[in-house]
Structure 1
């Protein structure tokens, strides 16, 4: 077990390769060397502010009671190293960004200490009551509405006038032939999709999955949401080509009951409550 050291020297005012790398990715999804001068300035500003916040957090009286064990540090380091194909690649990448394994360990340990202090500060927020979860549910009622969905399959024959079998007339004749067979034997839809469909879904019997209104091409969407379960559409056309749809089942629009989401609502409200407590506490530190 390693206990928190209180001196301000625990966090230097120097630039942090670790935080620079972290924020370059978080803000711009890139590496520090790929930043533009303007982006680099933004990252530098964020890094400087974060280091000041961390300094004040780790020099607070609350931080004196926080410990971070070696197992937690090793686990975090392992998660970082696991992103690389080998240890050599990991070490080379650290060096490329101006980091050593020891420096990374110190940065990770500092992160864990800051997180632990913030968790301790917010540990005693008031629990979320059943009444509060019910009020949240009622105030955000539209969020818990589920749209009508249909489980659909399709067969696609593409149109390509540069290819004999897919020239418009030939493609239409092919799909009409498939359609005629399916009207006689609708249970063979998955088989026919596997044999003839020119969509990657052919490998799953043409399965598109549970589809809400508005996700398909307009011509397909309009037909799909008029179909009954186990029915087959006529031949339809979209910018991709000719289609046949099958509606396997219909999931009506409805409402997710409070009992199904109560625990998720409570967890989210508690998380928000703790984050607000942490922000308020940090604000008092910065005001001193």
Structure 2
């Protein structure tokens, strides 16, 4: 089920983030607000109906694409060239969509932009931290505001022009479910557990390692004796999960190191393990819940299926629309 959720995210991600990086010079759009009027553009890479896409924007968009795909920021030359071209193609797509979006009226656009910028600032602990992050991204406040305006305009345009008109039938959803039952709608065996970790490393002397084990034994005695497991984990565990009482969340087989995994899946819900040694140290594990492998029912999955199929139809419609715009546009490399 997680896999189809990821597929939905990847299907729509380009449409939602394209606008944040596209062209700087908006003089070709008479309807654009004062913030987006003509500015001096240096290092232009491409013109889209007279609007510049700059080298800095392409580099920034390339970094975004690589981070989304989990790719390293430094690739072999040919692979980096392909990534750069993909970023430029997306920027061109975004610019064409923005030029169309600028033709529609969005009455509360200024208010939406202000809210979007305020939400971005609120993610940081202080104004200084926000300014530092903005500087690190290579953006000015003016560029960030302009990008927020473009993102909102494009998303509004896509919603009005395409998404609001897309229909997905129950028959379509059921067919997708049956066709992809094994691929997307199987639940692997999984468990949720907490642990307390007494860390060790390869540099420890035998005496130091024995001391760590003795500490783990003492902690085990405490939790077996009735002390609150989460409280002991918060106070004593050497794992970052200590902040949440040792809770590791839900995971399946193959996601943890073998000794830890075996201990988890041998436990019954509510049970606490003995001392389990791994390359990270000595663990004390408490199993919260365990679920056998099985199928996700259609009723459980249909919400995500409808979301995915709608996103696919929107993506196809937008892609066809942009291809049509490209055929009529004046696009030139500089």
> Do they fold alike, i.e. is TM over 0.5?
yes
Change (3 A) 1:57 1:227: closer
Q: Is the 8 A contact 1:156 1:243 kept in 2?
A: yes
2:220 to 169, 179, 198: 179
Instruction: Provide structure 1 residue ranges, at least 5 long, that are not aligned to the other structure.
Output: none
Asked if residue 157 in structure 1 is aligned to residue 157 in structure 2, the reply is: no
Instruction: Spell out structure 1 runs of 4+ moving beyond 6 A.
Output: 38-42, 103-108, 161-166
C-alpha offsets along residues 38-74 of structure 1, whole Å, 9 cap, x if unaligned? 8799869965885588569857xx986x3233x2144
The answer as to whether partners of 1:67 and 1:113 remain within 8 angstroms in 2 is no
Q: Greater relative contact order: 1 or 2 (C-alpha under 8 angstroms, separation 6 or more)?
A: 2
What is the CA–CA distance in structure 1 between the aligned matches of 2:253 and 2:273, rounded to whole Å?
16
Distance 2:244 2:234 in 1: 7
1:226 is matched with which residue? Answer: 266
Classify 1:217/1:166 alpha carbon distance in 2 versus 1 (closer, same or farther; 3 Å): farther
Verify the 8 A CA contact 2:58 2:91 in the aligned structure 1.
no
Structure 1, residues 213-240: CA drift from partner, whole Å, max 9, x if none?
Answer: 2222211111211111222222221111
Alignment of 1:117-196 (within 5 A): 117-122=157-162, 125=165, 127-142=167-182, 143-159=184-200, 167-180=208-221, 182-183=223-224, 185=225, 188-196=228-236
Is the contact made by 2:116 and 2:148 (CA closer than 8 Å) also made in structure 1? no
User: How much has 1:129 moved relative to structure 2?
Assistant: 0.6
* SS across alignment from 1:67: coil
Gaps of 5+ in 2: 1-28, 32-37, 39-47, 66-73, 122-126, 329-334
| Contact 1:134 1:258 (C-alpha < 8 Å) held by counterparts | yes
After TM superposition, the structure 1 = structure 2 runs for residues 1-288 of structure 1, keeping only pairs within 5 Å, are 13-16=50-53, 22-29=57-64, 50=91, 54=95, 58=99, 66-69=104-107, 71-76=108-113, 78-80=115-117, 83=120, 85=127, 101=142, 117-122=157-162, 125=165, 127-142=167-182, 143-159=184-200, 167-180=208-221, 182-183=223-224, 185=225, 188-288=228-328
Distance 1:120 1:5, change over 3 A: farther
Q: Distance in 2 between matches of 1:205 and 1:42?
A: 42
Change (3 A) 1:100 1:159: closer
CA RMSD of aligned residues (A): 4.6
- Residues 221-267 of structure 1: CA distance to partner in whole angstroms, max 9, x if unpaired? 11211111222222221111112222233233333322233222112
**Which entry has the higher C-alpha Rg, 1 or 2?**
1
Contact kept? 2:188, 2:294, Cα under 8 Å: yes
**Secondary structure of 2:266 counterpart:** coil
Q: Secondary structure at the match of 2:167?
A: coil
Q: Deviations over 1:57-111 (max 9, x none)?
A: 857xx986x3233x2144225524654538x969x97xx86x895x887776666
Q: Give the Cα separation in 2 of the matches to 1:81 and 1:56.
A: 25
Aligned pair count? 266
Q: How far apart are the structure 1 equivalents of 2:290 and 2:90?
A: 53
Contact 1:159 1:168 in 2 (8 A): yes
Deviation at 1:152, TM superposition (A): 1.6
Name the stretch that deviates more: 114-123 or 133-142: 114-123
